[in-house]
A and B are shown apart, each in its own frame.
Chain A
Amino acid sequence: MNMDFGVFCKSTLDGEPVQHCISSIFGIAQNADPSYLDWLMQAWLWTIAVAGLSLVIALVIGAVMGTLRTLPNSGLGSRLLVRGATAWVELFRNIPILVQVFVWYHVIPSFVVPLKELPSYLLVSIALGFFTSARIAEQVRAGIQSLPSGQMAAATALGMNRVQSYRYVILPMALRIVIPPLTSESMNVVKNSSVAFAVSVPELTLFAMQAQEETSRGIEIYLAVTLLYALSAFAVNRLMTWIERRTRIPGFVGTSTDPSLAH
């Protein structure tokens, strides 16, 4: 197998080697024509941007929907909220992600014309964010329901209303419990962001498909793209592990396996 990683230092216009192959990606020098490495870095930024935006949307909506699904039955209002949140989860987790992306890109803008003006990366972030929010909502719900019912009763006994009980008692414990599955979900968002290629976002997957055709160096291109996906997902993993460790409270719910924290 002969591999030639020099392909990344070639110009994307004429296939000739560029002058500043490595230095240009650090912004020190500028190539006359962009090289495949410049393009790869730009594609990586797009992947990170789409994944980051989707993750923010997914975490916010997921936490809200997951919480709403656990509301105790106390009148019509709470029943409607529970039903609404359940409908949200079932709608977005029962449709394949690629189909959702096409619905947001092709179908919805033909009914809601102002959406046509939105750039495709925003539409795909909404699609991916909503899709992931359904999964996160289920994890948050599981976290809340894993708490003993006495917690809610105790909060009520202290004179807290429903919002205060969730804000000061239930959610601080539940969200800590669900950090491990949220880590997997956040890493999934990075990997799922590859569907953005289908609606013309110039991210890593689109780069791989296009550059391997232009250079006939598919193995080298896919190796580099694989490495960057793995690196991005692993960085998210490290970040979440750091958050998990920082927010841990010794002796709190979700007993730690860390022996130094044992009583």
Chain B
Amino acid sequence: MKALLFIIYGIKSALVASLLVFTHSAIASSATLDKIKSTGAVTMGVRESSIPMSYTTGDSRFDGFHVEVCRMILNDIKDKLGLSTLRINYQPVTAQNRIPLVQNGTVDIECGTTTNNTARQRDVSFANTLYVEEVRIAVKANSGINSISQLAGKKVATTTGTTSVQILRRHEKATGVNFDEVFGKDHADSFLLLESGRADAFVMDGSILAGNIANSRNPKDFKIVGEVLSTEPIAIMVRKDDPQFKAAVNAAIAKIVANGNMPKLWDKWFLKPIPPKNSVVGLELSAATKNAWANLNDRPAEDYQKK
């Protein structure tokens, strides 16, 4: 009898053990979550100077709208994995290397200013969009320019290596309005072209325009005008071959949105003074971004253009 009980107990524990192994493997089929759990560390890809989305505040510290969202997401994942602490390693990335670094596993979660589009979806996955960028026009306040149609024959600055260049080209083709394009090598350079009068307008993402104007010598000399030239979802980037990790990130995002944190985060990063210079970006929450929070989705930029 005792022996029989022992055997039953043995079978039972074997069953429990196999069940444990089974459930464990179900969770652990995510390579990223597995790595986070075994090492107690995660690598976040960040940008150096994408104010206020993702930037350095000096001494290898990084902060910003997307960076803070990512810290909240990783905190949620930490709790889910039952870890007491999770070390976050920050890895600065550039527009050129961010996708390869996510693909090869150097970066687990990229929290910068990456546009979610179909071409990139071949290589990586995107979490649900929390920020929708609108491409706008910045001009000198006294220029009298209020619309893109007034820019015919004028010099229009934009930054090399951004999607705005292609947007301008398409716009020229569609409307027959011809601009004289000048290319800055980075955003600060493009803004200098506008400031020094070498360009009459600067076409770029609204947050970048607002950030540059806020940091200029005389912010009142510039204004953002005209129609929205393009709408693009900016999203957190994760590896493509790890749908479980993406699901965990999206679950955390849903929780953050449901808790009503997003308007507070917007207020903190876009409307209040931010480190390191205590400048104010001053970009009001757009209807498109509000809509993205209300209907969480990972649709690519191409879907936004069709609307």
Contact = CB atoms under 8 A, between A and B. Distances in A.
A216 B300 CA distance: 15
Contact of B192 (A14, A106, A116, A209): A106
Given A106-B196, A110-B196, A216 B119 contact: yes
Given A106-B196, A209-B160, A216-B119, A13 B170 contact: yes
B204 to A, nearest CB: 14
A206 B160 contact: yes
Contacts of B169: 12-13
B219 interface: no
Interface in A174-204: 197-198, 200, 202
Interface residues on A, range: 20 to 34
Nearest to B160: A209
A255 interface: no
B165 A210 contact: yes
Contact of A214 (B96, B163, B196): B163
A120, A197, A213 pick with most chain B CB within 10 angstroms: A213
Given A106-B192, A106-B196, A198-B189, A216 B120 contact: yes
B166 A206 contact: no
6 contacts: A14-B170, A116-B198, A198-B185, A200-B181, A200-B183, A214-B165
A194 to B, nearest CB: 11
Interface residues on B, range: 20 to 34
B123 A216 contact: yes
Contacts of B165: 210, 214
Interface string A111-123: 0000010001000
Contacts of A16: none
A214 B162 CA distance: 8
Nearest first, the 4 closest Cβ-Cβ pairs linking A and B are A216-B119, A200-B183, A209-B161, A200-B182
B95 A213 contact: yes
A13 B123 CA distance: 22
A215 B120 CA distance: 9
B173 interface: yes
Interface string A205-243: 010011011111010000000000000000000000000
A200 B182 CA distance: 5
A90 interface: no
Interface of A: 12-14, 33, 106, 110, 116, 120, 197-198, 200, 202, 206, 209-210, 212-216, 218
Interface in B103-139: 119-120, 122-123
Given A12-B166, A200-B183, 12 more contacts: A13-B169, A13-B173, A14-B170, A116-B198, A197-B160, A197-B183, A209-B161, A210-B160, A210-B183, A213-B95, A214-B163, A216-B122
A14, A200, A218 pick with most chain B CB within 10 angstroms: A200
Interface string B155-190: 000001111011001100100000001111100010
Contacts of B120: 216
A120, A197, A210 pick with most chain B CB within 10 angstroms: A210
Nearest to B185: A198
Given A106-B192, A200-B183, A210 B161 contact: yes
B173 A33 contact: yes
A120 B169 CA distance: 20
Contacts of A116: 198
A215 B123 CA distance: 13
A14 B119 CA distance: 13
Nearest to B173: A13
Contacts of A216: 99, 119-120, 122-123
Contacts of A120: 182
Contacts of B192: 106
Contacts of B183: 197, 200, 202, 206, 210
Contacts of B122: 216
A213 B173 contact: no
Nearest to B155: A200
A91 to B, nearest CB: 24
Nearest to B115: A213
Contacts of B185: 197-198
